[in-house]
Amino acid sequence: MITELGYGTLAITFFLALYGIGAAIWGVQKRKPEWVESARNAMLLTFPLLTISCASMIYLLVNGNYEVEYVSSVTSNSMPLYLRITALWGGQAGSLLFWSWLMSAFASAVTLRNWQRDREFLPWVIVVSLVTLGFFLGLTLFVENPFDRLWLLPNGIAVKSFFAREGAIPFYQSDGKGLNPLLRHPGMIVHPPMLYLGFVSFVIPFAFAIAALITNRTDDRWIQITRRWSLVAWLFLSLGLILGARWAYDVLGWGGYWGWDPVEIAAFMPWLTGTAFLHSVMIQEKRGMLKHWNMILIILTYNLVIFGTFLTRSGVLSSVHSFAQSAIGPLFFVYIGASSALSLGLLLHRWQDLKTDLHMTSVLSREALFLLNNLLFMGILVICFWGVIFPLLSEIITGQKVTVGPPFYERATAPLFAALLLLMGIAPLAAWRHSTLQTLGKAVWKPTLVSLLAPLTAVLLGVRNLAALIGFWLAAFVACVTLYEYGRAAIARSRTHGESLPLAFWNLVGRNRRRYGGYIIHLGVVLMAIGILGIELFQKETQATLARGEELRLGPYTMRFESLAVFDTADGRNVARAVVSVYKNGRFVGELYPRRDYYYESQQPMTIPGVRSTMEDDFYVLLVDWQPISSAGATFKVYQNPLVNWLWLGGFVFILGTLIAAWPESEKSPAIARAKRQAPLGAEAS
Amino acid sequence: MSVEQAQAQEQQASTIRLRWGRGLAWLALFVLLIILAGGLLRNQQGAVSVGERIPEFTLTTFDGQTLRSADLRGKVLVINFWASWCKPCEQEAADLEAAWRFYQPRGDVLFLGIAYVDTEPEARAYLEKFGITYPNGPDLGTRISQAFRIRGVPETYIVDREGTLQFVQIGPFRSLSQIKSAIDPLLQP
């Protein structure tokens, strides 16, 4: 019954999406606004309908209805409630349904905005959103149906199908296979939804961009409307990436946070174009330039979202680690081909209309530096894209799949990231339109001088690595410039408004959230950079097999192997848990419990490290192997990860800054309107 | 040259540039799609299946010996993909070694172990732990596992004397007799 309900609402939503596309186009063609209005209602309805469908799926998962193939493949009796719910996105079919549901949430939300001023966009925004949604619904409905049931044919073979097969009887199982143990981590529970939210919310700015191209409304309106949408999309995407890094650090058991895996890069690429887009729209808003460029960036972002989803789900790249082989690959291919060709064609068709006569007036102006920042982001994108596409290319040409590893990406992108940091320090101090070396130098010299203290301190502390010194200086430089900007503006405000300094500071951020939120994001990046420098350049590791009571040393740490126990748990795991004592510079600092869980039902092991975290470093212990009979000896892999917690702290600050920048401003409040009138001209510029 | 002429020339030059730009943009998209289609096509072929010839490969063992699949024709090959980090592999390790010791005296059966995504010290420790004596080597750059398009470890491919794949075991063997029953039919003269 519930299975039928879920499947039925899914099917209805699919046809509703098709209807919405048709009605919107028809309404424009025949100039019948009531048809467009009907399409809008159709799009509004997709969210409640898919909510029912998702709720049905969750009901089946929680209830353990193992006759449904998806339920039996991702849940089992021993799984706790919260994992059964999150199993909704634990496999291909369910996560497609979940993707569609999130997409419909954004599509429905966009119908609810006030369309009075930009009525002409409405039908095309509906068409783009519903085509995207319809594609994913079609995949869910016809190719990867999460509601498919298992049937037993007369010859004893089990097949999956939604409708009853002739002569087949329903196949009821008493237990399922269970969720992949790697996915049973809090980070993994939140990470995919955040990433999906980031992906689907970029569809909305894209839809407006396409609407602007089709209606030939080439002013800045589409950018003004989608500014906050883009920020929200970017927020979710950033959050998804950070949580993914944290998950890798906690679970994957190699002491790393980012492995340049194709799947990671697939999510990173739209983030790169999205970040470039967020910066370059400011130039269009302030100076009316770069209209072509912004269109290119948003089109790229959308297509990279689809491309990334394709890469992870079609099994084109790593046939072992991604979702199992499936028929959705070719369909995705056709969709990517069509969407990129159509958007490219449309852009080229409107190329002349997007032209402006404005030109850069100075190579040191803020717009020029922003453009440079964009080019650097594009450079990193090209490197990532090349790395991802290279195995496919080499397979076609030489017949062998040659993959490029992390060293390629690290070497190629590191200088670009360093240049980005430098720009992050300089650009906020440059003026719009016109800046000379002299004006810029005048603004920069004080923070530069202060920032030199950082590498000097590092040298005094014994750091001799040149890359690290440059990196620390860049981080300190950006931090000094940003704090200097805050300080200067807050002091100015406290003078003109007669406010106390903290109040002036608070009001400053509140009155210009976009600018100061952006600066907080920059500070977050600085903290993350410090963490990355620490772990990348100063990580130490060792491995040793220890008998009980034996010790190993790593940096200032000494670790003693105390004991090991192997036992079964009630939820179907076999756990091997070691107890080790950790001493730092000879002083006891605590016990750690690295362990290895073996999941019987899915036959998969999972390594859970024992970690001692401080802002200075993480001491990270993995249990690699042990003697099962005597329990006398065990092998450990041990890492010292300096400064890594700055990375997580930076991630937190980064997200906080994005929230501030994206927070809706209550423009109707008279106090703010007054403040805006009173504010000096310079304070508005950002 | 009058101002109009110069303007017309400039106009013409910009039209040509635009045309070239368009052509290049389309070409880039086209090439990209071709590459993707190529990858997809190969992917759709799926795993090597029973009845097909196995892909040729070269394995350098941990002892430094080089084995070429082409040189091994005339022998029944048992190719086992494993990893030291793989728990289910441990279930079958002892049975595989027992089977090897059973067939080794005949001389016409060869077992090959291929360590998938592994580090050498850990792989060697694993071999030592289970006392494995048949040739084993690392799958450098995962070339062999990609050629076989394995889905995970352990997986075992049994190949007849002509180099045709005759049996595939996904996941661990459950017993020695199961391994024997897969090999024996290929030994009939």
The torsion angles phi and psi of A90, rounded to 5 degrees, stand at -90, -5
Work out the average pLDDT over B55-72. 88
Contact (CB, 8 A) for A299 and A99: no
Tell me if A320 and B25 make a contact (CB, 8 A cut-off): no
- Provide DSSP, A507-521: HHHHHTHHHHHHHHH
Look at residue A676 and tell me whether its pLDDT is greater than 50. Answer: no
Find tokens 């309805």 and name the residue: A45
Expressed as residue numbers, the domain containing A455 is 406-528+655-684
Cα distance from A337 to chain B (closest Cα, Å)? 7
How would DSSP label each residue in A637-664? EEEEEETHHHHHHHHHHHHHHHHHHHSP
Calpha distance A188→A191 (Å, rounded): 5
Mean pLDDT within A90-100: 89
Buried b (16+ CB within 10 A) or exposed e, B59-88: bebeeeeebebeebeebbbbbbbbbbbbbb
Q: What's the pLDDT score for residue A678? A: 43
Residue A330: closest C-alpha in chain B? B40
A398 at B interface, C-beta within 8 A: no
| Cβ atoms A351, A292 nearer than 8 A | yes
User: What is the mean pLDDT of the segment spanning A288-316?
Assistant: 85
Q: Are residues A515 and A574 in the same domain?
A: no
Cα–Cα dist A207/A583, whole Å: 57
The closest alpha carbon to A391, from A248, A303, A261, belongs to: A261
- The residues in A 590-609 lying below 8 A from B, measured between CB atoms, are 598, 603-605
Minimal-distance CA residue of chain B relative to A315: B43
Pairing of strands B155-159, B165-170: antiparallel
Residues A432 and A514 in one domain: yes
- How high is the mean pLDDT of chain A? 85
List of chain B residues whose C-beta atoms are within 8 Å of the C-beta of residue A403: 141-142
pLDDT digits (tens, 9 = 90+) for A468-519: 999 999 999 999 999 988 888 888 888 888 888 888 888 888 888 888 888 9
Both A67 and A149 in one domain: the answer is yes
**Does A465 share its domain with A608?**
no
Task: Report yes or no on A601 lying in a domain.
Answer: yes
pLDDT computed for residue B141 by the predictor: 67
Which one of A347, A392, A637 would you mutate to disrupt binding with B, by most B Cβ within 10 Å of its Cβ? A392
User: Residue A32 corresponds to which tokens in the numbers above?
Assistant: 């019948």
- One domain for residues A87 and A173: yes
Residues A36 and A150 in one domain: yes
A431 shares its domain with A459 = yes
Phi, psi of A176 (to 5 degrees): -105, 180
Mean pLDDT on A164-173: 79
CB contact at 8 A, A211 and A222: yes
Reduced to 3 states (helix: H, G, I; strand: E, B; else coil), residue B61 is: coil
Nearest Cα to B170, choosing from B148, B186, B138?
B148
Q: Does one domain contain both A11 and A61?
A: yes
CB A291 within 8 Å of CB A284: yes
Q: What is the mean pLDDT of chain B?
A: 84
Task: Report the distance separating Cα B113 and Cα B83, nearest Å.
Answer: 10
A354 interaction partners in chain B (CB closer than 8 Å): none
> Do the beta carbons of residue B70 and residue B56 sit within 8 Å?
yes
Contact of B92 with B154, CB cutoff 8 Å = yes
Classify residue A356: in a domain, yes or no.
no
**Out of A319, A344, A396, closest to residue B43 by CB:** A319
Rounded distance, CA A685 to CA B13, Å? Answer: 38
pLDDT band at residue B111 using 50, 70 and 90 as cut-offs: very high
Q: Which residues contact A72 (CB under 8 A, 6 or more apart)?
A: A66, A150, A173, A176, A177
**A317 touches B at CB < 8 Å:** yes
Angle between helices A501-511 and A513-538 (to 10 degrees): 100
Residues A608, A516: one domain? no
List the beta bridge partners of residue B60: B66
Phi first, then psi: give them for residue A51, nearest 5 degrees. Answer: -60, -40
Do A498 and A546 sit in the same domain of this protein? no
* Domains identified in chain A, total number: 3
The pLDDT tens digits of the residues spanning A361-370 come to 777 788 888 8
Q: What is the pLDDT of residues A145-168, one digit of tens each?
A: 999 988 888 776 777 888 887 778
Contact partners, residue B151, CB within 8 Å, separation at least 6: A319, A320, A324, B47, B170
Can you give the pLDDT at residue A318? 47
CA A365 to chain centre: 31
Q: pLDDT > 70: what percent of chain A?
A: 91
CA distance B75 to A281: 67
- In this structure, the strands spanning A610-613 and A617-626 are antiparallel
Tokens 């999205």, residue located: A274
| Neighboring chain B residues of A329 at a CB cutoff of 8 Å | 40, 43-44
Given A126, A156, A179, the domain boundary residue is: A179
Q: What is the pLDDT of residues A405-439, one digit of tens each?
A: 777 888 889 899 999 999 988 888 887 777 777 87
Please tell me if residue B187 touches chain A, with a CB cutoff of 8 Å: no
For chain A, say whether B146 makes contact (Cβ under 8 Å): yes
* pLDDT over 80 at A650, yes or no: yes
Tokens coding A469: 């010194």
Q: Which CATH fold would you assign to the domain B58-187?
A: Glutaredoxin (3.40.30)
Residue whose pair of structure tokens reads 């249990």 in the numeric block: A623
Name the minimum distance, in Å, from the CA of B108 to any CA of chain A: 31
Calpha distance B62→B122 (Å, rounded): 12
pLDDT at site A686: 35
pLDDT interval class at A255 (50, 70, 90): low
- A326 is a domain residue: no
A89/A86 Cα distance (integer angstroms): 6
Q: Which of A20-24, A550-554, B35-39 has the lowest mean pLDDT?
A: B35-39
Q: Which CATH number is A576's domain given?
A: 2.60.98
Say if the Cβ atoms of A314 and B40 lie within 8 Å: yes
In angstroms, what separates the C-alpha of B99 from chain A's closest C-alpha? 23
Contacts of A572 in chain B (CB under 8 A): none
Q: Give CA–CA dist A607/A251, Å, rounded.
A: 7
Q: What is the pLDDT of residue A182?
A: 67
Residues whose CB falls within 8 Å of the CB of residue A649, separated by 6 or more in sequence, listed in order: A527, A531, A615
Q: Is A152 helix (H, G, I), strand (E, B) or coil?
A: strand
Is A677 a residue whose pLDDT tops 80?
A: no
- Confidence band (pLDDT; 50, 70, 90) for A674? very low
Which residue, A179, A201, A228, sits at the end of a domain? A179
CB atoms within 10 A of CB B18: 13
Residue A316 to residue B46, Cβ atoms within 8 A: no
Instruction: Quickly state the pLDDT bin for A675 (edges 50, 70, 90).
Output: very low
Question: What's the whole-number mean pLDDT along residues A254-265?
Answer: 76
Reduced to 3 states (helix: H, G, I; strand: E, B; else coil), residue A90 is coil
Q: How far apart are CA A103 and CA A129, in angstroms?
A: 8
Which residue among A158, A179, A200 closes a domain? A179
| Structural tokens at position A364 | 């040191």
Three-state secondary structure call for residue A15: helix
- pTM value is 0.81
The confidence band for A316, taking pLDDT boundaries of 50, 70 and 90, is low
DSSP notation for A594-635: -EEEEETTTTEEEEE-EEEE-SSEEEEEEEEEE-TTT--EEE
Q: What is the pLDDT of residues B128-170, one digit of tens each?
A: 888 899 999 988 766 788 778 776 678 899 999 988 888 888 7
Helix, strand, coil percentages (3-state) for chain B, rounded to 5, are: 50, 20, 30
- Joined together, the tokens standing for residue A682 give 């310079």
List, in order, residues 6 or more apart from A606 with CB less than 8 Å away: A181, A182, A184, A251, A596, A597, A598, A599
Any CB–CB contact under 8 A between A341 and chain B? yes
pLDDT in tens, A5-53: 999 999 999 999 999 999 999 999 999 999 999 999 999 999 999 999 9
A405 part of contact set with chain B, CB < 8 Å: no
Nearest chain A residue to B116, by CA: A320
The domain spans of chain B are 1-45, 58-187
E strand map for chain B: 58-60, 66-68, 76-82, 109-115, 136-138, 155-159, 165-170
- Say yes or no: B46 contacts chain A, CB-CB below 8 A: yes
Query: Do A2 and A107 reside in the same domain of the chain?
Result: yes
ipTM of the complex as predicted = 0.70
Per-residue H/E/C for A232-245? HHHHHHHHHHHHHH
**Token duo for residue A435:** 């800046």
Please tell me the distance from the alpha carbon of residue A111 to that of residue A122, in angstroms, as a whole number: 8
Q: Which one, of A167, A228, A85, A193, lies nearest residue A667 by Cα?
A: A228
Among chain B residues, the shortest Cα distance to A300 is held by B29
State the residue for tokens 């039925």.
A8
Cβ–Cβ of B43/A314 closer than 8 Å? yes
> A409, A423, A429, A481: which is closest to A450 by C-alpha?
A481
Q: Do A517 and A545 have their domain in common?
A: no
Q: Which of B41, B142, B55 is nearest to A316 (CA)?
A: B41
Minimal CA separation from A202 to chain B, in Å? 21
Q: What pLDDT does residue B43 have?
A: 63
Three-state DSSP at A265 gives: helix
Helices A92-111 + A122-138 axis angle, to 10: 170
| Touching B: A residues 626-665, CB under 8 Å | 635
Q: Are strands A573-584 and A587-592 parallel, antiparallel or unpaired?
A: antiparallel
Cα–Cα distance for residue pair A343/A233, rounded to 1 Å: 20
Least confident of A197-206, A242-251, B96-105: A242-251
